[in-house]
Amino acid sequence: MKEKGKSHDDCSHVHLAIQDTLYVVNGKWKLLILSILINNGTKRFGELSRESGISPRILSKELQELELNQLVTRKVCDTKPVTVEYSATAYAGTLKEVIDAMIRWGENHRKRILSQ
């Protein structure tokens, strides 16, 4: 059903924007990783794995994809043993409003479902 005052091109633009967003943050881990890094700052790989509950193999893959999309930076520290730190970029900060809205919605949804 076509919304009053909305053209087909407007709807296509909206759908494309949603698809682009989902492409970048898809899966169940990326937003969790970003939330941790945006809200808690830089984390070492092991810390991030423990805090998120994500296996190292999956975390590594997700971080690579986030880095490709300029949402996370990776810093190899000159330590023995070598440590790797991950930080949210300033660009990732543009997702904070979206993540905060998802947190609020998730909290409200959980309350609604558990109160039945």
Could you tell me the pTM of the whole model?
0.83
* Three-state secondary-structure class, residue 83: strand
CB 92 within 8 A of CB 104: no
Q: According to CATH, what is the number of the domain 28-114?
A: 1.10.10.10
Q: How far is CA 52 from CA 8, 31, 43, in A?
A: 41, 11, 11
Max CA distance (Å), the chain: 63
Q: What is the pLDDT along the chain (116 residues), one digit of tens a residue?
A: 455 566 767 788 899 998 988 888 898 899 999 999 999 999 999 999 999 999 999 999 999 999 999 999 999 999 999 999 999 999 999 999 999 999 999 999 999 999 98
Helix-then-strand count for the chain, H and E: 5, 3
